[in-house]
Amino acid sequence: QVQLAESGGGSVSAGGSLRLSCEVSEYTKEMNRMAWFRQAPQMEREGVASISIRTASTDYADSVKGRFTISRDNAKKTVYLQMDNLKPEDTAIYYCAAGETYGTTWALLYQYNYQYFGQGTQVTVSS
C-alpha cells in the first residue's frame, strides 16, 4: 500500500514563505507524477502544482505561478513545495498526491487523475 506523508505546514503572515515536504513510501512502476493539491473550507480540492518523477517537468495553476515552486528528490522519494509571497487566499489544507497521469496542464492538476493522496497539512496565511 503506497503511503504519502506531508510535513511543513504552519501559520505565516502575508508575504512570508513556507516549504512543504512529502515523502512517498514507494514508487510503483506505473507512477509517473507527483503533485500538490489544496482545499479551502467549503471549496473543491484544486490542483496547485505537478511534477514528472522521471523528467522533473512541472505544471502550475495560474494562481500560484511565479510564487510556488515544486521540486523532487527521487533518492529520498520526496517532493517539495516552496511557497513564497504567500497570500491569505492560499490558506488551505495542502495534500500531496502521486499517480499515473498524462496530458494537458488541466489533466495533470485534476485530482481524480491521481491514485494516492496523503492526509494533508494545514497552511494558514494571515493578513
Helix/strand/coil (H/E/C) assignment for every residue in 25-81: CCCCCCCCEEEEEEECCCCCCEEEEEEECCCCCEEECCCCCCCEEEEEEHHHCEEEE
Confidence of residue 81 (pLDDT cuts 50, 70, 90): very high
pLDDT digit string, tens, across residues 89-119: 999 999 999 999 999 988 999 999 999 999 9
- Predicted confidence at residue 14, as pLDDT, reads 98
